[in-house]
Every structure is written in C-alpha cells, then in structure tokens.
C-alpha cells in the first residue's frame, strides 16, 4: 500500500459512494472509513467492498478527541477526506447542538490530529467536503462563485460555514495543506429518506402524501452522487492546496416541478395511470428560514481540473428510482429506527 487515506462519514450517502469509488479505482491505497454510524450511517451501503484488501472500517465518533488521535496514531494517514457531518437542514432547526458538536468540534479534532501527525506537509492533504449553503440564498439571478461572501442562514449551514472557516484558518495559521469543495444538492442511491428525493420516492411508492414545503417555489441545483464522487477524486489528485472548488450540476429545478417529474416517472415505473402519483402532492407549512434559491458556477473546476457532471437529470433520477424500488430491504432497514417518530414530528404535526 503506498498511501493511507482517511474517509470520515464513509457509511453515509455521499461518503459510501466516495469510498467505493476510491477502493475500486486505487487498489494500492489503504482506504480507512471512520464513521460513528448514526441514523444516517449504514454499513449495508458498502457490502460489495467490505472485504476488499485495501479497505478498513473503524467505528469512531469524531467529537471524541481521544478516539480521533488514536485513529491517526494507528494509521498515520497521508490524506483525509472529511465528509462526516450532521447533514439535514430540518434536523438542524429542531436540534442545532448536534450540528455544533459534530460539524464544528469534530472538524477541529480532525484538523488537530492532522496537524500533529504531519511534520512534513509534502504529499499530504486535508480535504473538507462542504456545501453551497454556506453562501446563503440567491434571488432569481446570479450564481454562487468561490468568491461569494459567506452568509449561512440555517443552523446546518452556519455549522458548515464555521467548519470551513476553521479549515482555512489552519491553512493560514499553521500552513496545513487543505482543500475545500462546496457542492450543491446530491441525489442518487443510498440517500436517507429524510431528504426530498428519496422521501418523495418512498411516499409515492407507499401511497403516503408527498409533502412540498410552502408553495414549492424554492430552487435547488441537483448533481448525481457518482458525479460528485468523481469530482472529489479529481480534486484530491489535481486540486491545489489552499484552494476552494465549487461543484454543481448546472441543473436548477423548482421543488414543485421536480416533484411532478418524480410522480410522472413513478407512474410509468409502477404502471399507474398518469396523474395518480401527483394526486399525493400536498403543500405543507414552509421550512423556517427556507433559502429561496441555490445555483452554482462550477466553471473553475471545469476549466482548471476538467470535471463536469456526466449524468443527465432524467437518467440519474430514473436510476435512483430503480435503485429504491429494487432495494426495499435496505429501505425497511433504515426506516426501522426512529423514523416514524421523526416523520410524525416533522410532517404529521406540521
């Protein structure tokens, strides 16, 4: 093995795609997935590679400094791709403290451990995976660039913005070799059904109402999760330390239009009469502080590193729906915890 890489949050949605991608593509790297296995982490996401020679799993909580330092002592990592986080905006509105601990304190623990381990910075990188939500909310025009001032507006985005600031501060103060990328909304297989697309797919399948916040006029830019994993690989290998890269799908959708498209595709796949799934759409009370629009200018990663998304949206959505319909056991498993309690608080009492 010629390189030891730590992936945090590798049992989660994006992390599991990144782990699989790197384990399969780089047999000479030792890929260590460190994850607390919260409600969002699931080792069933990785059964196909769990026995690979170049893969190890370590159950740790990044908020626990002792566990983080012991992990670095064990593996002497040369690179870190940091994805572990509390990731759901609605949960950050009801329980913000968890977001402070994991997203801020957890990130600082990893920065400290990297700093202590890396006397020599040659070939080392601390790569922080962040979100476009740190830039705030756009009006009808314009795009987030890497120079857009930070303006986080939810507890989730405030915690991610804070962690981004710590990462840059460690570069400026201690010379730690860091990279940050800020990506728009991901979709694809293995996403926990609290986020719009998997929640809508599951509700349409089971005949539950499909909740659309407010009037459904908020806009998000969507990128297929495997395209994001490919971008992370490219940034890891070709990105310049100290730099930030925005990642987006150039694919803006109003929530209501996206939900109608999902309903249309589901009618076709389930053999339902046209319009049957759409009858489940229900407008519910808006999310507090709901950001209006996110849209990304990803020309920097395109021109400097040669990445662009490979999946067209309809194709990606179709693959995503097929995956959920074919993986009902996975779905039942992730829904078996406290999901109904969460659903009741979030939707039935809304």
155: contact with ligand NAD by CB under 6 A: no
199: contact with ligand NAD by CB under 6 A: no
CB 26 to ligand DAU: min, Å: 26
- φ and ψ at 306, to 5 degrees? 75, 20
Is there a contact between 341 and 348 (Cβ–Cβ < 8 Å)? no
Is there a contact between 60 and 67 (Cβ–Cβ < 8 Å)? yes
Distance CA 330, CA 49 (A): 16
Structural element, H or E, at residue 35: strand 29-35
What is the number of other CB atoms lying within 10 angstroms of the CB of residue 174? Answer: 14
**Three-class secondary structure of residue 59 per DSSP:** strand
Q: Which stretch binds ligand NAD (CB under 6 A): 77-85, 108-116, 273-281, 304-312?
A: 77-85
- Catalytic: 156? yes
CB 343 to ligand DAU: min, Å: 10
35: contact with ligand NAD by CB under 6 A: yes
Distance CA 59, CA 72 (A): 13
Q: In the complex with ligand DAU, which residue's Cβ is closer, 79 or 136?
A: 136
Out of 5, 22, 30, 63, the residue judged to bind ligand NAD by CB under 6 A: 63
Count residues binding ligand NAD (CB under 6 A). Answer: 29
- Catalytic: 132? yes
Q: Out of ligand DAU, ligand NAD, none, which partner does residue 12 contact, by CB within 5 to 8 A per kind?
A: ligand NAD
Q: Out of ligand DAU, ligand NAD, none, which partner does residue 21 contact, by CB within 5 to 8 A per kind?
A: none
Running DSSP on this structure, what letter comes out for residue 17? H
Q: In the complex with ligand DAU, which residue's Cβ is closer, 113 or 158?
A: 158
DSSP string, 103-131: IIIHHHHHHHHHHHH-SS-TT-EEEEEEE
User: Residues 97-136 vs ligand DAU: string with x where CB under 6 A?
Assistant: ----------------------------------xxx---
14: which residues sit within 8 A by CB, 6+ positions away?
Answer: 83, 129, 186, 225, 228, 229
Out of 121, 287, 308, 319, the residue judged to bind ligand DAU by CB under 6 A: 287
**Three-class secondary structure of residue 125 per DSSP:** strand
Out of 106, 188, 198, 211, the residue judged to bind ligand NAD by CB under 6 A: 106
CB 200 to ligand DAU: min, Å: 7
Distance CA 301, CA 283 (A): 37
CB 270 to ligand NAD: min, Å: 26
- Look-up of token digits 């400094």: 65
Catalytic residue among 35, 86, 133, 146: 133
- φ and ψ at 56, to 5 degrees? -135, 145
Which residues are at the interface with ligand NAD (CB under 6 A)? 9, 11-15, 35-38, 40-41, 61-63, 83-87, 102, 106, 129, 131, 160, 183, 185-186, 192
Which residues participate in catalysis according to the annotation? 132-133, 156
């Amino acid at each position: 093995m010629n390189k030891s890489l730590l992936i945090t949050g590798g049992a989660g949605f994006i992390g599991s795609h990144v782990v699989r991608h790197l384990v399969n593509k780089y047999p000479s790297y030792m890929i260590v997935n460190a994850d607390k296995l919260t409600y969002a982490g699931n080792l069933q996401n990785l059964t196909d590679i769990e026995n690979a020679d170049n893969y190890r799993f370590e159950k740790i909580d990044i908020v626990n400094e002792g566990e983080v330092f012991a992990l670095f002592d064990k593996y002497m990592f040369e690179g870190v791709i940091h994805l572990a986080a509390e990731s759901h905006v609605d949960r950050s509105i009801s329980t913000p403290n968890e977001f402070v601990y994991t997203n801020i304190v957890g990130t600082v623990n990893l920065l400290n451990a990297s700093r202590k381990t890396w006397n020599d910075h040659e070939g080392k990188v601390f790569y922080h995976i962040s979100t476009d939500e740190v830039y705030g909310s756009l009006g009808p025009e314009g795009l987030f660039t890497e120079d857009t001032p930070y303006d986080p507006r939810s507890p989730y985005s405030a915690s991610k913005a804070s962690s981004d600031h710590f990462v840059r501060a460690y570069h400026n103060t201690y010379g730690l070799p860091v990279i940050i990328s800020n990506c728009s909304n991901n979709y694809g297989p293995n996403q926990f059904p609290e986020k719009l697309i998997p929640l809508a797919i599951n509700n349409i399948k089971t005949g539950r109402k499909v909740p659309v916040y407010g009037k459904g006029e908020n806009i998000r830019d969507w990128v297929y999760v495997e395209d994001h994993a490919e971008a992370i690989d490219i940034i890891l290998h070709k990105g310049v330390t100290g730099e930030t890269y925005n990642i987006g799908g150039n694919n803006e959708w109003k929530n209501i239009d996206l939900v109608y498209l999902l309903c249309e595709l589901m009618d076709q796949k389930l053999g339902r009469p046209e319009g049957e799934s759409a009858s489940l759409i229900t407008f519910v009370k808006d999310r507090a502080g709901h950001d209006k629009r996110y849209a990304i200018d990803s020309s920097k990663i395109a021109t400097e590193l040669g990445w662009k998304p490979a999946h067209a949206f309809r194709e990606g959505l179709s693959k995503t729906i097929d995956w959920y319909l074919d993986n009902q056991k996975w779905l039942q498993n992730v829904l078996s915890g406290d999901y109904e309690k969460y659903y009741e608080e979030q939707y039935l009492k809304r």
